[in-house]
């Protein structure tokens, strides 16, 4: 890990569509139970009425290239992450992004590892830049849209509501005088024995949405828990989460009570889920403030990790030299923890 990091984060951007689905409207319309809404504590979700997921990724990517003053031709690798339908069958959204952006020298790659896809793309970016230090910039994007025709954004999962967004980050060899942030370390751990949480006991289907018009994550999770009980997932989550936090601290050269460590940013899941699954474990390991930043965005699929990274700058959460951990998780399951340091361009208010 330490022989290929840190990486410079030239710029990172979140793009949200203008329309919002407010929680009080969803409760009044019967689209979410009032008790469930209170447990999640979201205030609103961004809703893409017009833009597809890849189009939102293009918007975020253009913004990040402008912010970094980087010509598209300087991008050597472009990786796009997603969890839900991207608008076409048997098609590569990563190649669409490269074409739309004019990234004519970039190798487009899709990373489809559910909600941890962008974190995995950052791992691949670190390996790529270590192996090819003169290859230019790496652009990582993530985008998803959850329209009601195929996904119930309020009730399709337990304790989580889903928002639409595009996010992007531009990585390269570090230049602390110019970069917004530094990626100091990144640790990931997997528990593939939990893959059935999103498969349930369904036979393999011949085509998409064989078992219903909408994606129903609750159904598969319930089937898994009936078969294996809740403790298997709970134990795996606790141990893997603790492992990646310890490893990311070690990789960044930080102790658990280091004064440079200012905050731990949680994935943009519902409040009760975060408190039951993440807050206690993290509180036992580090003394930094634990932050939930998804109340007005919902869960963004793989966009969570990049949106949280962007929030470090947008909310001015760190002074130069201070560090935050960004914790993330995705179906499969995989857990990641990123140690990110603020550079001089991103002072804390």
Tens digit of each residue's pLDDT (9 = 90 or more) over 297-346: 999 999 999 999 999 999 999 999 999 999 999 999 999 999 999 997 55
Percent of the chain whose pLDDT exceeds 70: 97
Question: What is the pLDDT confidence band of residue 209, given thresholds at 50, 70 and 90?
Answer: confident
Domains of the chain: 7-181 (3.40.47.10), 182-342 (3.40.47.10)
* pTM reported for the whole predicted model: 0.95
Q: Running DSSP on this structure, what letter comes out for residue 1? A: -
What is the model's pLDDT at position 134?
87
The total number of residues shown for the chain amounts to: 349
Q: Whole-angstrom Cα distance, residue 302 to residue 119?
A: 8
- Beta pairing partners, 274: none
Q: What is the mean pLDDT of residues 199-228?
A: 92
Residue listed under structure tokens 């993290």: 282
Question: What is the pLDDT confidence band of residue 19, given thresholds at 50, 70 and 90?
Answer: very high
What is the model's pLDDT at position 348?
41
Please state the three-class secondary structure of 286-308 as a single string. Answer: CCCEEECCCCCCCECCCHHHHHH
What is the model's pLDDT at position 177?
83
Q: What is the mean pLDDT of residues 214-220?
A: 93
**Nearest of 140, 138, 108, 124 to residue 310 by alpha carbon:** 140
Q: Whole-angstrom Cα distance, residue 142 to residue 158?
A: 22
- Beta pairing partners, 340: 183, 324
Residue 38: how many other CB atoms lie within 10 Å? 12
């Amino acid at each position: 890990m330490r022989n290929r990091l840190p990486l410079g984060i030239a710029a990172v951007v979140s793009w949200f569509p203008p329309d919002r689905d407010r929680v009080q409207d969803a409760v009044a319309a019967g689209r979410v139970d009032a008790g469930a809404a209170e447990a999640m504590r979201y205030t609103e979700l961004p809703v893409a009425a017009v833009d597809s997921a890849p189009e939102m990724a293009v918007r975020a990517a253009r913004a990040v290239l402008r912010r970094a003053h980087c010509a598209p031709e300087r991008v050597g690798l472009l990786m796009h992450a997603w969890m839900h339908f991207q608008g076409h069958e048997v098609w590569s959204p990563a190649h669409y992004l490269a074409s739309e952006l004019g990234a004519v020298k970039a190798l487009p790659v899709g990373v489809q590892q559910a909600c941890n896809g962008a974190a995995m793309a950052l791992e691949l970016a670190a390996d790529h830049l270590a192996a090819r230090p003169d290859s230019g910039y790496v652009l990582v994007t993530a985008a998803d849209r959850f329209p009601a025709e195929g996904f119930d954004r309020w009730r399709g999962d337990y304790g989580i509501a889903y928002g639409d967004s595009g996010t992007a980050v531009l990585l390269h060899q570090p230049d602390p005088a110019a970069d917004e942030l530094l990626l100091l370390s990144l640790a990931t751990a997997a528990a593939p024995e939990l893959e059935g949480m999103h498969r349930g006991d369904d036979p393999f289907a011949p085509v998409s949405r064989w078992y219903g018009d909408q994606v129903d994550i609750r159904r598969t999770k319930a089937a898994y828990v009936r078969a294996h009980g809740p403790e298997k997932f709970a134990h795996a989550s606790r141990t893997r989460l603790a492992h990646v936090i310890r490893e990311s601290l070690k990789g960044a050269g930080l102790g658990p009570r280091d004064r440079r460590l200012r905050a731990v940013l949680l994935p943009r899941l519902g409040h009760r889920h975060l408190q039951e699954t993440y807050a206690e474990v993290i509180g036992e390991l580090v003394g930094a403030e634990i932050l939930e930043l998804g109340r007005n965005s919902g869960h963004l699929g793989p966009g969570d990790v990049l949106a949280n990274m962007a929030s470090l700058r947008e909310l001015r959460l760190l002074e130069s030299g201070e560090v935050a951990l960004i914790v993330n998780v995705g179906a499969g399951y995989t857990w990641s923890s990123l140690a990110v340091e603020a550079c001089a361009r991103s002072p804390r208010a």
